[in-house]
Amino acid sequence: MKENRYDYIIVGAGSAGCVLANRLTEDARHRVLLLETGGSDKSIFIQMPTALSIPMNTKKYAWQFETEPEPYLDNRRMHCPRGKVLGGSSSINGMVYVRGHARDFDEWEAEGAEGWNYRRVLPYFKKAETWAFGADDYRGDQGPLGVNNGNNMQNPLYQAFVDAGVDAGYFPTEDYNGAQQEGFGAMHMTVKNGRRWSTANAYLRPAMERPNLTVVTHALVHKVLLDGKAATGVRYEQGGKVHEAKAVEEVILSAGSIGSPHLLQLSGIGRREVLEQAGIEVKHELPGVGENLQDHLEFYFQFRCNKPVSLNGKLDWWNKLKIGLRWILKKDGLGATNHFESCGFIRSKAGVEWPDLQYHFLPAAMRYDGKEAFAGDGFQLHIGHNKPKSRGTVHVQSADPTQAPQIRFNYLQHEADREGFRDCVRLTREIINQPAMDEYRGPEIQPGAEVQTDEQIDAFVRQAVESAYHPSCTCKMGTDELAVVDPQTRVRGIRHLRVVDSSIFPTIPNGNLNAPTIMVAERAADLIRGREPLKPSDAPVLMDGQWQERQRPGTAKRVLG
């Protein structure tokens, strides 16, 4: 058994772990060990943005988790892939860059995550990024993370969708990551110079040039080592051999919303009955571990397209070859985008203060995993209700670290979530039937014009809805009895142990999770290093001043929220 000593041990080289590896090794005095179960991300299928469906569905690059039968989805087992490669889920995701609404982070603080309100987290979003169109009060231009709009909406369907949203009475928004999320506009992606800009590319590779960072791949962590109520290191397996690494300062779990709670439970930290049922000795009872699981669901609203402008005409082998060759040679063209280049964020009903529905617009009609496309031209909207009230669990099943945990989201358990998806169907039809889409809009493929009543919509959603791959909140930050980490990201009751990843979100934001996960790691790095936090922002937030009375803003003047 080999033993090594480091100042910090980070478990998981994903969206958060790569950020921490970079920021903690900025101080040459800190020796840092980064452990990752997966291997190299040097694959064309990871680096070429248009190939995004491949790594997500490849065992080599992703944990292919599957849920228990979901009781409110007709007992379907849902696919739950998580990154298992350098860059983690930032190397397999759709590269969509959405921070969430300002009120999402104010909500975090209201839930007990003191210091994590919008004014305090905005500077860390700015610190992380280089926005292709320059810095302002909301956007940064000096950070590691490259963010742009792909091909700048060259396909006419992108702008037609934005115009349809405006026709329907919603705001246009110049930057949904800026002053105003609500509305329709261009979508942003983590792509730089035509390449997927994962946290491995943005943060880890520069850090690997430093002598004080050790990166170990193909390392499966078995448990956190404890001495009483203090973490002292980790036990991990690599190449059939078991090693122990000791941490002088801290062990930091960045294994994600499935991996981090599972690893705490394997280490004897969690809800007593869950651990005892799995045959694991209880070292520290912490009932919130693996609870509070949240995710975004979405379905594809699909239409045939009356003009031959969609990407369905580019899906044959010859066009795919040309796209791939152009990307290899020039790093541009259709290979350099995730194809989600326009979007929308709206409120589902009057009385909802900030957007809870999100659109990703795709100028093609096909499955997200790339397995099926429709003959002829088409387009689709990925639409979901993004502030779910349903809660699930991640529970260890045995002391064997190779056995996957039991995952149950309880999707659509709450009536408000089912209502949200009914709103998705009805509001989307209204938007797509605006004049801006007239020249493109063909017959509705899915759900189908016959799906009209609440009962019909509910039945369709139960069968068609899919995960948006945003599991979160299983080690939530706060101060109540179910909080797992405190607002400093320290595991409650255990010294020298932190969790830093999307599992510590108290609630799920309205948007994709890569951007807020990176922000959390940036801010946590300052907390770990004992540095003064960045100065809070005073940048205003623009919202509809009459949100209590109406579902959409119409032509009313925007006001400061």
22 is in an annotated binding site: yes
20 is in an annotated binding site: yes
In the 8-state DSSP scheme, what is residue 22?
A: H
14 is in an annotated binding site: yes
26 is in an annotated binding site: yes
Q: Which two tokens stand for residue 265?
A: 């439970």
What one-character-per-residue DSSP string does 343-410 give? EEEE-SSTT--S--EEEEEESS-B-TTSS-B-SS-EEEEEEEE-S----BEEE--SS-TTSPPEEE--
Q: Are the beta carbons of 97 and 188 closer than 8 angstroms?
A: yes
18 is in an annotated binding site: yes
23 is in an annotated binding site: yes
Q: Which two tokens stand for residue 325?
A: 């060759």
- Residue count of the chain, please give it: 561
The answer to whether residue 385 is catalytic is no
**65 in helix, strand or coil?**
strand
Strands 284-285 and 269-270: parallel
Q: Which helix (H) or strand (E) holds 275?
A: helix 272-277
19 is in an annotated binding site: yes
442 is in an annotated binding site: no
Q: First and final CA of the chain: distance in angstroms?
A: 58
Amino acid at 128: A
What one-character-per-residue DSSP string does 213-250 give? EEEE-SEEEEEEEEETTEEEEEEEEETTEEEEEEEEEE
25 is in an annotated binding site: yes
- In SS3 terms, 124-174 reads as HHHHHEEECCCCCCCCCECCCEEEECCCCCCCHHHHHHHHHHHHCCCCECC
Q: Which two tokens stand for residue 513?
A: 């999770």
Q: Alpha-carbon distance 318 to 335, whole Å?
A: 14
* Catalytic choice (339, 360, 470, 496): 470
9 is in an annotated binding site: yes
321 is in an annotated binding site: no
35 is in an annotated binding site: yes
Tell me the sheet residues that pair with 351. Answer: none
Q: Alpha-carbon distance 510 to 421, whole Å?
A: 15
15 is in an annotated binding site: yes
Q: Are the beta carbons of 544 and 182 closer than 8 angstroms?
A: yes
343 is in an annotated binding site: no
Q: Annotated binding residues for FAD, as ranges?
A: 7-36
Catalytic residues, by residue number, are: 470
Binding site per annotation, positions: 7-36
